[in-house]
Amino acid sequence: MPSRPSHRSGPQRSEAARQAVLAAARQLVEESGYGAATVEAIAAAAGVGKPTIYRWWANRASVVMEAYLAMADAEVPFPDTGSAKEDFRCHLSAVAQAMSTHPTGTALAGLVGDAQHDPALAKAIAAEFIEPRRVAARQIVTRAVQRGELRADIDADVAIDALYGPLYYRLLVRPSPLNADFVDTLIAHVYPGLINDP
Amino acid sequence: MPSRPSHRSGPQRSEAARQAVLAAARQLVEESGYGAATVEAIAAAAGVGKPTIYRWWANRASVVMEAYLAMADAEVPFPDTGSAKEDFRCHLSAVAQAMSTHPTGTALAGLVGDAQHDPALAKAIAAEFIEPRRVAARQIVTRAVQRGELRADIDADVAIDALYGPLYYRLLVRPSPLNADFVDTLIAHVYPGLINDP
Amino acid sequence: MPSRPSHRSGPQRSEAARQAVLAAARQLVEESGYGAATVEAIAAAAGVGKPTIYRWWANRASVVMEAYLAMADAEVPFPDTGSAKEDFRCHLSAVAQAMSTHPTGTALAGLVGDAQHDPALAKAIAAEFIEPRRVAARQIVTRAVQRGELRADIDADVAIDALYGPLYYRLLVRPSPLNADFVDTLIAHVYPGLINDP
Amino acid sequence: MPSRPSHRSGPQRSEAARQAVLAAARQLVEESGYGAATVEAIAAAAGVGKPTIYRWWANRASVVMEAYLAMADAEVPFPDTGSAKEDFRCHLSAVAQAMSTHPTGTALAGLVGDAQHDPALAKAIAAEFIEPRRVAARQIVTRAVQRGELRADIDADVAIDALYGPLYYRLLVRPSPLNADFVDTLIAHVYPGLINDP
DNA sequence: CTATAAGCGAGACGGTACGTCCCGTCTTAGA
DNA sequence: TCTAAGACGGGACGTACCGTCTCGCTTATAG
């Protein structure tokens, strides 16, 4: 989301164009997958010139990512049930559900894939997608530690890696089911290592 | 019209060409990263025609993968220390070490990245790289269960996902340290959930 | 590593593609003028990839020029009537006729126009179009001098400039009739200065 | 020259902006050639908005032409020596001098080049640059005919074409010297055909 | 002595074409 | 017959300007 000086003369960025681009990107991803969402196709579908896209986004992955964020934002809320285990089970299930669904999972996988060749995109994914979710996850951990539900000496980052890493692993590396059963089993295997063990 | 008494078939340079291709692919990845190892660049560097590459491999990712396998094969052996925890610590550390090293990590990330757009490559990575290593890892789990070191009701696949997933997560999604400390902490957090806990 | 090749082999330039490109260029110029003969349009009309055009020609003007040469080559032959005055009248009329005709004149004007921004094209026009015609014109002059028809001290280049320059001037700079009358009048004004005047 | 809008209210056309645009155009042509004098570059260099340029000129060629006229106006005066031959020699030499000088020649060639794709510009060049000079040249011819110096049946337009055409030919088509020697030789070859020949 | 409306700078916009890169296939010459 | 070299059709890339269109500011004159 490129920030610009806000008090400037002349025409502002066209919100209509921005929305049209994002909508087109989203639709292309949904209908034909990430590979079809080329900059040219997005521009054509949005009724927008290519330079308008390049004016505001660095490359196609950035466009698709912003479109993806719009899709994903409302989808996977972090609950607060009072139990970290339930919170994580709930959220991990929702994430697994989103990952195994078209187009959400396809797009995420495509974006992370492209990010391997595009450091700027990698940074964007980390900063705009991953990090906000980790902040929420860390809050769950912090609350649970305060409650005595999780080990006081827990390393929140590593704990979160241990819970979410396997989901991304299955999404990206090892094609295998990403469902609630998997999440339950995962929690059953990982969570005991994280709890306060009297 | 020159007469042509072509009796026998041509010379068997194929193995030499194959080696040249793999060496060129490896060198390109090492020197300039995965992105530079295009088929054309590999062919040129190997002194080989493009069709020769396409005759033996499906696309550039397949070439790079084979070159990568040659690199990776000897690097990360599975130990058998008698303790599954030690086995995993040892192997996970080696994997983390390889992942955080150029060119091994770069190439693996690039391959997995490309695999998101290329199902054949995804299959190849799963079948030729991931699965052999999982087989070995499952043996560690199986032995440890028989020894009573790990829970009898363990789901080996999920356990392995829980241990290796976080590494791939850090490699691919979340740029963060991949060192022995991380492995130790990870094991400290995950392993207790896997052990036999009377 | 395979031994370095010391000779060339491989496929030759596709004559079919070359002809298709030139035909398409010619047709576009004829139908819609020089401005319509963009590289993209030529490639599309010829059923050829853009890179194939750029492999063999430096830019669109080079393509159009080659197409133009094919058009122009047979059109304006140099006669040898025994009289230089008649030779020039005949040839100048043919040139004026070609210049004032679509597409020949349009294309020539467009090419010379582009040549003002493109030194390579200017060189090509001079070397491949202008110079061959000047060689023929110089022969006419030389023969006429030997015959005693033209001044012995004539400067052939300047004489040719004086005869052909006005045609190009009218084509490029000053929109005005380019017909046989003009040629006759031009010769009537210029030729007396060139003849042997005892 | 653009016509003035009604005297209703508000600021009038900014003469400063107009001068800045012309100066910038001239400077760009001088420094980097005609090709560099894009509308955007002129606007930027003049510190002026693009619409200000398009409000007052039809396109970049019009701007450059006006700038060019300002350059050229004072440079090449028509003399009146009493001898048409001397008048023409003098003026043709000055024109040849200007044509072979940067930026005057560059800009003129560029303008005429662009005019091949832009009928409006062609018309402007003819009307605003060529025609005024031809009027002066016709006066020389007329005076000389009255004096009996030139043939009574002379076609002034063709005579002028015969004298000036070769200069433009060398400027635009045939890269070759444009100096006083050339002008002298040209006159020596062409002028005898124009004089009164008792 | 304002108010209004034109001219201004800035620059975003939809577009067209550019020239490049690499893909994966096809063709040819020579060993 | 097989291989190297590389030309081919194709698709997308990211860039340069084009000429048009708002914006919000400035300013001169009409009221």
pLDDT at D187: 97
pLDDT at D24: 94
Q: List all residues 6 or more positions away from D149 whose beta carbon is below 8 Å from its beta carbon.
A: D83, D84, D85, D195, D196
CA distances from B101 to A124, A178, B96, B108 (A): 23, 30, 9, 10
Of A110, A116, A168, the CB nearest to B169: A168
- Residue C4 pLDDT more than 50? no
CA D132 to chain centre: 9
B182–chain A nearest CA distance, Å:
8
Residues D182-186, mean pLDDT to the nearest whole number: 98
D13 touches strand E (CB under 7 A): yes
CA distances from C85 to C146, C164, C190 (A): 14, 14, 11
Which residue in chain A is spatially nearest to B125 when comparing CA positions? Answer: A173
D32–chain C nearest CA distance, Å:
12
D52 touches strand E (CB under 7 A): yes
B80–chain C nearest CA distance, Å:
39
- Residue A24 pLDDT more than 70? yes
Alpha helices in chain D (DSSP H): 15-32, 39-46, 50-56, 60-73, 84-99, 104-115, 119-124, 131-147, 156-172, 180-190
pLDDT at B13: 55
Residue B197 CB: number of other CB atoms within 10 A? Answer: 9
C3 touches strand E (CB under 7 A): no
pLDDT at B176: 93
pLDDT at B75: 63
- Residue A7 pLDDT more than 60? no
Q: List all residues 6 or more positions away from C54 whose beta carbon is below 8 Å from its beta carbon.
A: C39
Alpha-carbon gap, residue A64 to A69, rounded angstroms: 8
Alpha-carbon gap, residue D72 to D26, rounded angstroms: 11
Alpha-carbon gap, residue B105 to B65, rounded angstroms: 12
pLDDT at C164: 97
Residue B81 CB: number of other CB atoms within 10 A? Answer: 12
Alpha-carbon gap, residue A61 to A35, rounded angstroms: 10
What residues are paired with A44 via a beta bridge?
none
Residues C107-121, mean pLDDT to the nearest whole number: 87
Q: Which residues of C92-125 are buried (b: 16+ CB within 10 A; e: fewer)?
A: bbbbbbbbbeebbbbbbbbbbbbbbbbeebbebb
Of A168, A173, A191, the CB nearest to B193: A191
pLDDT tens-digit readout, B93-133: 999 999 998 888 988 999 999 888 888 788 888 988 999 99
Of A137-146, B81-90, C20-29, D76-85, minimum mean pLDDT range: D76-85
Of C112, C165, C193, the CB nearest to D116: C112
**CA-to-C1' span, D109 to E20 (A):** 30
Alpha-carbon gap, residue A189 to B159, rounded angstroms: 7
Q: List all residues 6 or more positions away from C70 whose beta carbon is below 8 Å from its beta carbon.
A: C22, C26
Residues C131-156, mean pLDDT to the nearest whole number: 95
- Asked if C21 and C46 touch (Cβ cutoff 8 Å), the reply is yes
Tell the residue number behind the tokens 């337009």, with chain if given.
D157
- Residue A2 pLDDT more than 90? no
pLDDT at C157: 97
Q: Which residues of D98-117 are buried (b: 16+ CB within 10 A; e: fewer)?
A: bbbeebbbbbbbbbbbbbbb
Backbone CA torsion sign across D6, D11, D12, D13: negative
**CA-to-C1' span, D22 to E7 (A):** 18
Q: Subunits touching C (CB < 8 Å, at least 3 pairs)? A: B, D
A2–chain B nearest CA distance, Å:
22
pLDDT at C81: 92
pLDDT over 90, % of chain D: 65
Which residue in chain D is spatially nearest to C128 when comparing CA positions? Answer: D174
> Is B48 close to C2, i.e. CB distance below 8 A?
yes
Alpha-carbon gap, residue A84 to B115, rounded angstroms: 34
End-to-end CA distance of chain A: 47
Alpha-carbon gap, residue B151 to B149, rounded angstroms: 7
pLDDT at B12: 52
Q: List all residues 6 or more positions away from A52 whose beta carbon is below 8 Å from its beta carbon.
A: A14, A17, A21, A43
Selection from B187, B86, B196, B112 nearest residue B151 by Cα: B196
**CA-to-C1' span, D7 to E5 (A):** 11
3-class state of residue C195 by DSSP: strand
Which chain E positions come under 7 Å from a protein C-beta?
Answer: 3-31
Alpha-carbon gap, residue D18 to D53, rounded angstroms: 8
pLDDT at D1: 38
Q: List all residues 6 or more positions away from B102 whose beta carbon is below 8 Å from its beta carbon.
A: B30
pLDDT at A12: 77
pLDDT band at residue A74 under the 50/70/90 scheme: low
Which residues 57-96 in chain A have a CB closer than 7 A to strand E? none
Nearest DNA or RNA nucleotide to D49 (CA to C1'): E9
Amino acid at A102: H
CA B106 to chain centre: 11
For chain D, the residues whose C-beta falls within 8 A of a C-beta of chain C are 34-35, 109-110, 112-117, 122, 125-126, 130, 154-155, 157-159, 161-162, 164-170, 172-176, 182, 185-186, 188-194, 197
Which residue in chain D is spatially nearest to C162 when comparing CA positions? Answer: D166
Q: List all residues 6 or more positions away from D33 whose beta carbon is below 8 Å from its beta carbon.
A: D103, D106, D110
3-class state of residue C30 by DSSP: helix
D188–chain C nearest CA distance, Å:
8
pLDDT at D13: 63
D29 vs C39, residue with greater confidence? C39
Which chain F positions come under 7 Å from a protein C-beta?
Answer: 1-30
pLDDT at B3: 36
Q: Could you tell me how many CB contacts below 8 A there are between chain A and chain B?
A: 136
pLDDT tens-digit readout, A79-136: 889 999 999 999 999 999 999 988 889 889 999 998 888 887 888 899 889 999 999 9
Q: List all residues 6 or more positions away from D78 whose beta carbon is below 8 Å from its beta carbon.
A: D87, D91, D133, D136, D137, D139, D140
Q: Nearest 5°: phi and psi at B195?
A: -80, 165
Q: Nearest 5°: phi and psi at A31?
A: -80, -40
- Residue C198 pLDDT more than 70? no
C5 vs D91, residue with greater confidence? D91
> Is A162 close to B186, i.e. CB distance below 8 A?
yes
Which residues 135-194 in chain C have a CB closer than 7 A to strand E? none
- Residue D197 pLDDT more than 80? no
Which range is most confident: A71-80, B93-102, C11-20? B93-102
What residues are paired with A150 via a beta bridge?
A195
Which residues 18-57 in chain A have a CB closer than 7 A to strand E? 18, 20, 47-52, 55-56
> Is C126 close to D174, i.e. CB distance below 8 A?
yes
pLDDT at D23: 94
pLDDT at D194: 94
3-class state of residue D169 by DSSP: helix
**CA-to-C1' span, B21 to E29 (A):** 23
Nearest DNA or RNA nucleotide to A61 (CA to C1'): F13
CA distances from B7 to B41, C152, D194 (A): 35, 72, 82
Alpha-carbon gap, residue D76 to D87, rounded angstroms: 12
Both structure tokens of B161:
């996902």
For F1, nearest residue by CA–C1' is B9
pLDDT at C191: 96
Which residue in chain B is spatially nearest to A122 when comparing CA positions? Answer: B173
Cβ-based burial of D80 (10 A; exposed 0-12, middle 13-18, buried ≥19): middle
pLDDT less than 70: residues of chain B: 1-13, 74-75, 198
pLDDT at A91: 94
When the pLDDT of each residue in chain D is averaged and rounded to a whole number, the result is 88
When the pLDDT of each residue in chain A is averaged and rounded to a whole number, the result is 89
Give the angle subtended at the CA of A125 by the CAs of A123 and A126, to the nearest 5°. Answer: 65
pLDDT tens-digit readout, A178-193: 999 999 999 999 999 9
Alpha-carbon gap, residue B2 to A3, rounded angstroms: 72
pLDDT at B161: 97
Alpha-carbon gap, residue A68 to A110, rounded angstroms: 11
**CA-to-C1' span, A46 to E15 (A):** 14
Residues C158-172, mean pLDDT to the nearest whole number: 97
Which long-range contacts (C-beta less than 8 Å, at least 24 apart) are formed by A135-139? A136/A78, A137/A78, A137/A88, A137/A91, A137/A163, A137/A164, A139/A78
Give the angle subtended at the CA of A89 by the CAs of B189 and A135, to the nearest 5°. Answer: 70
Both structure tokens of B150:
């790990």
SS (H, E, C) chain B: CCCCCCCCCCCCCHHHHHHHHHHHHHHHHHHHCHHHCCHHHHHHHHCCCHHHHHHHCCCHHHHHHHHHHHHHHCCCCCCCCCCHHHHHHHHHHHHHHHHCCCCHHHHHHHHHHHHCCCHHHHHHHHHHHHHHHHHHHHHHHHHHHHHCCECCCCCHHHHHHHHHHHHHHHHHCCCCCCCHHHHHHHHHHHHHHCECCC
Query: Is the model's pTM score more than 0.85?
Result: no
- Residue C183 pLDDT more than 60? yes
Contact residues on chain A for B186, CB-CB shorter than 8 A: 158, 161-162
Cβ-based burial of B7 (10 A; exposed 0-12, middle 13-18, buried ≥19): exposed
Nearest DNA or RNA nucleotide to B11 (CA to C1'): F2
- Residue D9 pLDDT more than 70? no
